[in-house]
A and B are shown apart, each in its own frame.
Chain A
């Protein structure tokens, strides 16, 4: 199997794994509103004494961040399709990488801000986590986003150069 095909396969598998969460998340929030005394969601601030507006607000912000990630990933999937068709130096590819960068950077920044607010102001316990922490993952997502923005500029430049080359007689 070629590396491009493997990349597309991995992206596809992950993308289809993301869809149920996007679809079921609003339903879960609705369920929490209807049955506030449930126990299916844990480790949420303010949820110890039952689900209130704070919990719903937190869930909605998490869902917002997840949607940003999902849209970024959707564009990544589109980009891999272009990669397989060998249509890298096209306008669609430039737009795709730009959107991936914007959404991943947005999601990373938003999630990192939420996490920092939680750690600094809301969390009552302090602990050291060994291994990859959430903050490191969010930073990595921002790095990936910025990388795609740089990649988008590189593709844009390559597109211009290709056009110039075509118009050199």
Chain B
């Protein structure tokens, strides 16, 4: 899929663990893992908003587009 998820990088920059982020934004670790691995088919605006708020970043920091 040409949409890349840079969540691992942003988490590393903030020195935050994925478990912590999952608790803050209120989703399960399994779902966060699906998002981090790029297996997710869609991301809700509410989830994206919660991630941006928790990590103090912009959607563009997490999502990127790359041609196949």
Q: In the complex, which of the residues A164, A168, A169 has the most CB atoms of chain B within 10 Å of its own CB atom?
A: A169
Interface residues on A, range: under 10
Chain B, range 44-66, C-beta contacts under 8 Å to A: 44, 47
Query: Across the interface, which residues of A come within 8 angstroms of B32, CB to CB?
Result: 169
Closest to B32 in A: A169
3 closest A-B pairs by CB: A167-B41, A168-B42, A169-B35
From residue A107, how far is it (CB to closest CB) to chain B in Å?
A: 39
Neighbouring B residues of A169 by C-beta, 8 Å: 27, 31-32, 34-35, 40, 42-44, 47
CA gap between A163 and B35 in the complex, in Å: 14
Chain B residues contacting A164 (CB-CB under 8 Å) are 41-42
Asked whether any CB of chain A lies closer than 8 Å to the CB of B39, the reply is yes
Complexed CA–CA distance, A109 and B42 (Å): 44
* Additional pairs, 19, CB under 8 Å, beyond known A167-B34, A169-B47: A163-B41, A164-B41, A164-B42, A167-B40, A167-B41, A167-B42, A168-B40, A168-B41, A168-B42, A168-B43, A168-B44, A169-B31, A169-B32, A169-B34, A169-B35, A169-B40, A169-B42, A169-B43, A169-B44
The chain A residue sitting closest to B28, CB to CB, is: A169
Digit string of A153-165 for contact with B (CB within 8 Å is 1, else 0)?
A: 0000000000110
Instruction: List A contacts of B41 (CB < 8 A).
Output: 163-164, 167-168
Tell me which of B31, B32, B34, B41 has the highest count of chain A C-beta atoms within 10 A of its own C-beta: B41
Q: How far is the CB of A160 from chain B (nearest CB, A)?
A: 10
- Which B residues are in CB contact (< 8 Å) with A167? 34, 39-42
* Residues on the A chain within 8 Å of B31, using CB: 169
How far is it, in angstroms, between the C-alpha of A77 and the C-alpha of B26 when the chains are bound? 43
Chain A contacts of B47 at CB under 8 A? 169
CB distance from A161 to the nearest CB of B (A): 10
CA distance A163 to B34 in the complex (A): 13
Interface string of A137-169 (1 = CB under 8 A from B): 000000000000000000000000001100111
> In this complex, what residue of B is CB-closest to A160?
B41
| A-side contacts of B39, CB under 8 Å | 167
Tell me, in angstroms, the Cα distance from A169 to B39 when the chains sit together: 10
Question: What residues of A have a CB within 8 angstroms of the CB of B35 in the complex?
Answer: 169
